[in-house]
Amino acid sequence: MSDDKLKNVISHAKEYGFVFQSSEIYDGLSAVYDYGQLGALLKNNIKEYWWKAMVQNHENIVGIDSAIFMHPTIWKASGHVDAFNDPLIDNKDSKKRYRADVLVEDYLEKIRQKIQKELTKAATRFGETFDAEMYLKTNGRVVGYQNQITEIEDKLRDYLENSKLKEFKELIEELGIACPISGSKNWTDVRQFNLMFSTEMGSVAEDSSKIYLRPETAQGIFVNFLNVMKSGRMKIPFGIAQIGKAFRNEIVARQFIFRMREFEQMEMQFFVKPGDELTWYENWKEKRIKWHKNLGFDEGAYRFHDHIKLAHYANAACDIEFDFPMGFKELEGIHSRTDFDLKAHEKFSGKKLQYFDPEDNKNYVPYVVETSIGLDRMFLAVLSQSFKEEKLEDGSERVVLNIPNFLAPIKLAVFPLVKKDGLPEKAREILKQLKFKFQCQYDEKDSIGKRYRRHDAIGTPFCITVDHQTLEDNMVTIRNRDTMQQERISIGDIEKIVSESVSWETVLANLDD
Ligand code: ATP
């Protein structure tokens, strides 16, 4: 995929009412976006897919909805006040700001691509006898690349963990990294920048106190651990899930809804017995990748990436990366966070956050395995994978969104063939019966062909057309988005055909263990 593809997806999203730049008539607000009439529907469906898969499918996971504003000490306890920083660097010529670690990561990705190229070349040269693993271990050039990657990764980890800003700049200079915009290597020093937004709470200045807009939803779960455990009579292992807004003053806010300053997260904290966490970590890795692959997109579009910077409190962490139009990037994080968060809140709040284990007859602070996915990134993943520009047999072209049917914003479009002869009335009658079952749309403008194209472009799986014959035999034409095939069916069968195809049931059942 390419930059062009991203551009096409962005303009498609705008043209059809999926995503708009925030405050556009005032020239926009950087890295803030609004979801339009179809975007809101698609986003809600993705949310529902996550919520049902997590909460409805698991009897030991419950969902909450905590407030965005929280006691400021929470962010001291979580480490965000002191350490939620990104190392930033400016290019003096382009005046563009970058995350120093991202510049180095991009450099590493280029080396990885070189390895990939060598592999592809060798595979063609050696044909069927090619042993990729052996090649990676023995080919001099590739081994050189690998060593280079390991060396840079080690430095990166050290500089990030120990805030070695001077060394960071030296590394960028040593690698000869240039600004992608100006091409120049004229960099400022690297500085730390806290990503939390703050505001004042209280009506008069003297009484007000500084509070933060939450940079993640997870802390709302930790501070409600006791409430939920007691009121829900939860037994370990159990999980608490939440979907909600989060805010980060991102340094580099480009790439559309991939990196926003206001975004939404879907997070789940799974509380386990100490010692069991790594088994659960593997278990959640498996479950989460299954959730993604269940959408039926290209399996090669996903990969796991182990963290090179393991936070001091984590004993395992990885990302699920997705092949976005701008390349493989983090879509979801899975982290084994030990008892760091609950212990920190015990310390700062003075309250015991422990579980009494009836089997062992003792109290302990549970360990936590977290799964954390950005809803907006998931939206971009679905939109960019579904977006296809197809050449048809008759030489014409169409843009189609092959959105998995159960996620499609509109499930069924109902058209009268013409705007007269009682056809609109008949079409509306059908709509009236079906609108309680699924999201439908009535459309009578333009030719049928144009209406099909419009609904292909927004991912509507089915269109039905009411014609003169319908008035006599109660049959309509149903047209399938993916196959473009048309079929004559009775009005009474529409509900069954569409329901079966857009049903949550099969999708959720596929996820069950
Ligand atoms: P990145 O390294 O890309 O900044 P992160 O590692 O800081 O992400 P986490 O803190 O693990 O991200 O947040 C969990 C998830 O929230 C991410 O996997 C991502 O999907 C989403 N997310 C994080 N920051 C943003 C953002 N600025 N805009 C949209 N989604 C985000």
pLDDT of residue 314: 87
Contacts of residue 307, defined as CB under 8 A and 6 or more positions apart, other chains included, come to 314, 317, 318, 319
pLDDT greater than 90 at residue 458: yes
The answer to whether the beta carbons of residues 89 and 187 sit under 8 Å apart is yes
Point out the ligand 1 atom lying closest to the alpha carbon of residue 378. 20
CA of 469 to the centre of ligand 1 (A): 54
pLDDT of residue 2: 58
- Cβ–ligand 1 distance for 256 under 6 Å, the answer no
**For residue 69, what is the DSSP state?**
B
pLDDT of residue 469: 96
pLDDT tens-digit profile of 267-315?
999 999 999 999 999 999 999 999 999 999 999 999 999 886 677 788 9
pLDDT tens-digit profile of 364-395?
999 999 999 999 999 999 999 999 999 988 88
Contacts of residue 338, defined as CB under 8 A and 6 or more positions apart, other chains included, come to 277, 313, 314, 315, 367, 368
Tell me the mean pLDDT in the region 196-216. Answer: 85
Q: How far apart are CA 24 and CA 337, in angstroms?
A: 40
CA of 330 to the centre of ligand 1 (A): 7
pLDDT tens-digit profile of 43-91?
999 999 999 999 999 999 999 999 999 999 999 999 999 888 889 999 9
pLDDT, mean over the chain? 94
| CA dist list (Å): 77 to 71, 87, 338, 343, 347 | 11, 22, 15, 9, 8
Instruction: Identify the residue whose C-alpha is closest to ligand 1 atom 24.
Output: 259
The answer to whether the beta carbons of residues 347 and 319 sit under 8 Å apart is no
User: Quick count: other Cβ atoms within 10 Å of Cβ 327?
Assistant: 13
pLDDT of residue 285: 97
pLDDT of residue 130: 85
- 29: tokens are 């607000």
Tell me the mean pLDDT in the region 187-205. Answer: 88
As beta bridge partners, residue 264 has: 245
Please give the distance of CA 2 from its chain centroid, rounded to a whole number: 19
CA of 372 to the centre of ligand 1 (A): 8
> What DSSP element (H or E) covers 267?
strand 262-272
Contacts of residue 244, defined as CB under 8 A and 6 or more positions apart, other chains included, come to 65, 66, 68, 214, 217, 220, 264, 265
CA of 248 to the centre of ligand 1 (A): 9
Point out the ligand 1 atom lying closest to the alpha carbon of residue 215. 10
Q: How far apart are CA 106 and CA 100, in angstroms?
A: 10
Q: Where are the domains of the chain?
A: 395-509
Q: How far apart are CA 267 and CA 373, in angstroms?
A: 6
pLDDT of residue 89: 94
Cis peptide before 416 (omega within 30 of 0): no
- The full DSSP string for 369-387 is EEEEEEHHHHHHHHHHHHE
Q: How far apart are CA 139 and CA 145, in angstroms?
A: 10
Q: How far apart are CA 482 and CA 247, in angstroms?
A: 38
As beta bridge partners, residue 239 has: 61, 270
- Cβ–ligand 1 distance for 259 under 6 Å, the answer yes
Picking from 375, 134, 139, 368, the residue whose alpha carbon sits closest to that of residue 238 is 368
Q: How far apart are CA 219 and CA 340, in angstroms?
A: 12
3-state secondary structure of 414: strand
pLDDT tens-digit profile of 221-243?
999 999 999 999 999 999 999 99
Residue identified by tokens 């700001």 is 97
Instruction: Write the CATH number of the domain with boundaries 395-509.
Output: 3.40.50.800
The three-point CA angle 46-50-54 to 5° equals 170
353: left (phi over 0), alpha (psi -120 to 50) or beta: beta
> What DSSP element (H or E) covers 511?
helix 504-511
Report CA Rg, the chain: 26
Instruction: Identify the residue whose C-alpha is closest to ligand 1 atom 13.
Output: 372
Point out the ligand 1 atom lying closest to the alpha carbon of residue 259. 28
Q: How far apart are CA 373 and CA 268, in angstroms?
A: 9
pLDDT greater than 50 at residue 108: yes
pLDDT of residue 206: 65
The answer to whether the beta carbons of residues 36 and 17 sit under 8 Å apart is yes
Measured on CA atoms in the order 172, 175, 181, 184, is the torsion positive or negative? positive
Instruction: Identify the residue whose C-alpha is closest to ligand 1 atom 22.
Output: 374
Instruction: Identify the residue whose C-alpha is closest to ligand 1 atom 11.
Output: 333
- Cβ–ligand 1 distance for 91 under 6 Å, the answer no
The answer to whether the beta carbons of residues 64 and 55 sit under 8 Å apart is no
Q: How far apart are CA 429 and CA 406, in angstroms?
A: 24
pLDDT of residue 1: 45
pLDDT of residue 254: 75
Q: How far apart are CA 171 and CA 264, in angstroms?
A: 34
The answer to whether the beta carbons of residues 267 and 284 sit under 8 Å apart is no
Contacts of residue 66, defined as CB under 8 A and 6 or more positions apart, other chains included, come to 217, 220, 221, 223, 224, 242, 244
Q: Where are the alpha helices (DSSP H) in 404-490?
A: 423-434, 448-458, 468-473
User: Quick count: other Cβ atoms within 10 Å of Cβ 490?
Assistant: 11
Q: How far apart are CA 345 and CA 271, in angstroms?
A: 15
- Band (105; pLDDT cuts 50, 70, 90): very high
- Band (205; pLDDT cuts 50, 70, 90): low
CA of 263 to the centre of ligand 1 (A): 9
- Cβ–ligand 1 distance for 262 under 6 Å, the answer no
Instruction: Identify the residue whose C-alpha is closest to ligand 1 atom 18.
Output: 332
Tell me the mean pLDDT in the region 323-338. Answer: 95
> What DSSP element (H or E) covers 236?
none
pLDDT of residue 251: 81
Q: How far apart are CA 355 and CA 229, in angstroms?
A: 9
